[in-house]
Amino acid sequence: MQGTDSSRTASHDRRTVTSWLLGTGVAASLASFFYPVARFLNPPQVAEAAVNEVDAGKVQDLKPNSGKIVKFGNKPALLVRVNDTEWKAFSAVCTHLNCTVQYQDARREIWCACHNGTYDLNGRVISGPPPKPLEELAVKFRGDEVVISRRA
Partner 1 sequence: MGNNLSSTEFKAKTLDWLDERTGWRMVRDLMDHKVVPIHAGTKWYYFGGITLFLFGVQIFTGVLLLLYYRPTVAEAFDSVRFLMTRVEFGWLIRSIHSWSANLLILSAFIHMFSVVFTHAYRRPRELTWLSGIVLLGLLLGFGFSGYLLPWNQISYFATKVGTDVAGTMPVAGPTLSRFLRGGEDVGGATLTRFFDFHVIILPLIAFGLVGLHVLLVQKHGMSTPSDIPPEKVAQMKFFPNFFLRELVVWYGVLAVLGTLAAIFPWELGEKADPFASAPAGIRPEWYFLAQFYTLKLIPSHVWILEGELLGLFGFGALAAGWVLLPFWAAGRHKLASGVGVFLICYLAAFTFLGYVK
Q: How many helices (H) and strands (E) does the chain have?
A: 1, 10
CA–CA separation, 88 and 100 (whole Å): 16
Nearest to 92 by CA among 29, 136, 58, 47: 136
Q: What is the DSSP letter of 61?
A: G
CA–CA separation, 73 and 62 (whole Å): 21
User: Of 20 and 34, which CB lies nearer to partner 1 in the complex structure?
Assistant: 34
Residue 19 buriedness (CB in 10 A; 0-12 / 13-18 / 19+): exposed
User: Of 36 and 131, which CB lies nearer to partner 1 in the complex structure?
Assistant: 36
By three-state DSSP, how is residue 136 classified?
strand
CA–CA separation, 80 and 121 (whole Å): 9
User: Of 33 and 85, which CB lies nearer to partner 1 in the complex structure?
Assistant: 33
- Shortest spacing between CB 32 and partner 1, in angstroms: 9
- Shortest spacing between CB 39 and partner 1, in angstroms: 4
Q: Where along the sequence are the contacts to partner 1 (CB under 8 A)?
A: 29, 33, 36-37, 39-44
User: Of 39 and 142, which CB lies nearer to partner 1 in the complex structure?
Assistant: 39
- Shortest spacing between CB 48 and partner 1, in angstroms: 14
- Shortest spacing between CB 30 and partner 1, in angstroms: 10
- Shortest spacing between CB 49 and partner 1, in angstroms: 16
User: Of 25 and 64, which CB lies nearer to partner 1 in the complex structure?
Assistant: 25
